[in-house]
Structure 1
Amino acid sequence: MACRISVISRHISSPPLEHLDDLGVRVAPEVRSALSSGVGVVALESTIVSHGMPYPQNFHTAQEVESIVRANGAVPATIAILDGVPCIGLSLAELERLAKLGTMVSKTARRDIPYVIARRGNGATTVSATMFFASKAGIKVFVTGGIGGVHRQGESTMDVSSDLTELGKTPVAVVCAGVKSILDIPRTLEYLETQGVTVVSYSTDEFPAFFTPNSGCKAPCRADSVEECADIIEANTKLGLGSGILIGVPIPAEHAAAAKNVESAIQSALHEAESRGIAGNSVTPFLLKRVNELTGGDSLAANIQLVKNNALVGAKIATALTTRLSRFTKSS
């Protein structure tokens, strides 16, 4: 692989969970047990549940994603803020409550965390907030659909997602289907380089573009197995770089929406958003909703499939990482 590395496995301990209790962060019993015993844990965001699709489709999809994580040897930890309490891991009832509340739940990035907690509100965590809480718990692998990035015309609007700066300062590996194709992918990759983020494409030389496997942008690094991904995560942790890792997993070809149709829908949705004065964190949900409408549901179907595929790969990476560390501990 490009940027090929080989590292010697060593024990990488998670922080004691008592400090989270002191901070008022609730860790679900299943997640707490997994972290304490060295079982792989995969963090999952909650914005995709509340803002990504309607109920009950969002609830069923969330259940399926958690099931895929478990089936591949890891424990899912969906992260959200409920009644002002940050939760790392949700019960089935809590997951359904979040799904039913939908867009009534505050979309919560890192900057919004204090406000939501102080008001004892409900917050669905975005990539940046999910990474923050995952890192606090020592969770090293996080699965999502796609990350935010530099918006088109970002050189004029300065609209850059906090996902990118979070990746620059939080040591969590984000497994996703690349950067959402509604964004400026080349500028996003440049920004990630500036932030010192290791960007890896899984089993391909090209960085994926969310709905489609191809973006036209060559990835800085390539990994061809979950073991190689685990090596990269371990090396990052061992050296204490303090930055995140972005692992782009292309959506399976059989589920990819036709790139030409998606791009046409994106352009129409962008013009509509501009004409209606939609800005800030309302832009991405609006664009995704309109693109789904304009593609006759193809983009939402692709979205669901790519999240499931990411969960499969992410769980295997988390398991590979813990298996490697367990073998080393036994031989030490």
Structure 2
Amino acid sequence: MTDFQIRYGAEVAEALRAGRPVVALESTIVSHGLPRPDNLRVAREIEAAVRADGAVPATIGMVEGVLVVGLDDAQLTRLASSDGVAKLSVRDLALAAATGADGATTVAATSAVAAAAGIRVFATGGLGGVHREAAQTFDESADLTTLSRTPIAVVCAGVKSILDVGATLERLETLGVAVAGYRSRRFPGFFVTDGGFDLDWSVDSPEQVAAVLAARAAHGVQPGALIVANPLPTAEQLDPALHDRTLADGLARLAAEGVTGKAVTPFLLAHFHSATEGASLAVNVRIILRNAALAAQIAVAAATR
């Protein structure tokens, strides 16, 4: 009988046994979110950023049907350079495992697997959310429902600005997912610093985030995630006017070409990269590196409580 248990990289397994800080990282950004060959370089830089702040990186993905927490460099290279790597949400994991697929985990799948592995902090770029025109299409990311039942801290730069940000925040509230700005009461807009919406809560330090996680565990009544929304400094954001023009053009192309479902986000991100002549890619990289560093600081603070 095939063994479908989760496998652990040696360093991650040892860190979890010893109670050392570990940060989960998704692999979709490697296989689907960034162009080659930048994707592999950036994946390694993300892991290095986690290490630089004292935590162990655990990039999660699937190789030949084996779900791995803590991909090694050869496995990371395979997912970064191979064609046909599946984009795996939670619903896809068993199907992909049983069919021996190579797969990259989304925010939803990474969160679920990380929590099952005992990892409490996850760094990503931006969350999925409610898509524009969702009232007609019912297109909403599985990230939201998964986070409503997954006890993990997710450090992100808000939701991708190609989505309906206001509707996403409403859904997160309905689903009981806590959202706090990091040193800000405004929700970030991924490529841009300010996504246009106020937040009820902010946290000011990694230690304060760790205290929130400790309080949640002690209370035992809050099953969902804590989203730590970490905005880019204004000097590092994509020019807001350029962002708005590029988004409007991308949405028009999306409708004209009939792109739907899982293909929407990669399509629009590729459009941003092309239309901004690489400026959005540079911002995307800054986002994930900053979030990886903050997540590591939170994991270190949480490990010492």
TM-score category, normalised to shorter length: over 0.9
Q: Aligned partner of 1:288: which letter?
A: L
What residue in structure 1 maps to residue 254 of structure 2? Answer: 273
Q: Aligned partner of 1:225: which letter?
A: S
What residue in structure 2 maps to residue 12 of structure 1? Answer: none
Alignment of structure 1 residues 213-228 onto 2, 5 Å = 213-228=193-208
| Alpha-carbon distance in 1 for matches of 2:44, 2:235 | 23
Secondary structure of the 2:242 match is helix
Q: Aligned partner of 1:53: which letter?
A: L
| Alpha-carbon distance in 2 for matches of 1:213, 1:154 | 24
Residue 58 in 1 paired to residue 44 in 2?
A: no
Residue 149 in 1 paired to residue 122 in 2?
A: no
Residue 73 in 1 paired to residue 45 in 2?
A: no
What residue in structure 2 maps to residue 211 of structure 1? Answer: 191
Residue 313 in 1 paired to residue 294 in 2?
A: yes
1:95 to 71, 76, 79: 76
| RMSD (Å) for aligned C-alpha atoms | 1.3
What residue in structure 1 maps to residue 244 of structure 2? Answer: 263
Residue 193 in 1 paired to residue 169 in 2?
A: no
| TM-score of the aligned structures, taking structure 2 as reference length | 0.97
Aligned length: 303
What residue in structure 2 maps to residue 295 of structure 1? Answer: 276
Residue by residue over 1:164-189, the C-alpha shift from the partner in whole angstroms, topping out at 9 and shown as x without a partner, is 00110111111001111001111100
Q: Aligned partner of 1:47: which letter?
A: T
Distance apart, 1:216 and its partner CA: 1.3
Which structure 2 residue ranges, 5 or more long, are not aligned?
A: none
Which structure 1 residue ranges, 5 or more long, are not aligned?
A: 1-21, 325-332
| TM-score of the aligned structures, taking structure 1 as reference length | 0.89
| Alpha-carbon distance in 2 for matches of 1:238, 1:27 | 28
Residue 244 in 1 paired to residue 229 in 2?
A: no
Q: Which runs of 4+ in 1 moved over 4 A?
A: none
Residue 180 in 1 paired to residue 160 in 2?
A: yes
| Alpha carbons 2:179, 2:229 under 8 Å: kept | yes
| Alpha-carbon distance in 1 for matches of 2:4, 2:199 | 39
Q: Aligned partner of 1:191: which letter?
A: R
What residue in structure 2 maps to residue 37 of structure 1? Answer: 18
Distance apart, 1:31 and its partner CA: 0.5
1:114 to 82, 89, 94: 94
Distance apart, 1:231 and its partner CA: 1.1
| Alpha-carbon distance in 1 for matches of 2:182, 2:303 | 20
| Alpha-carbon distance in 2 for matches of 1:54, 1:268 | 20
Q: Aligned partner of 2:43: which letter?
A: A
Distance apart, 1:215 and its partner CA: 1.1
Q: Aligned partner of 1:159: which letter?
A: D
Identity %, equivalent residues: 45
What residue in structure 2 maps to residue 82 of structure 1? Answer: 63
| Alpha-carbon distance in 2 for matches of 1:281, 1:237 | 34
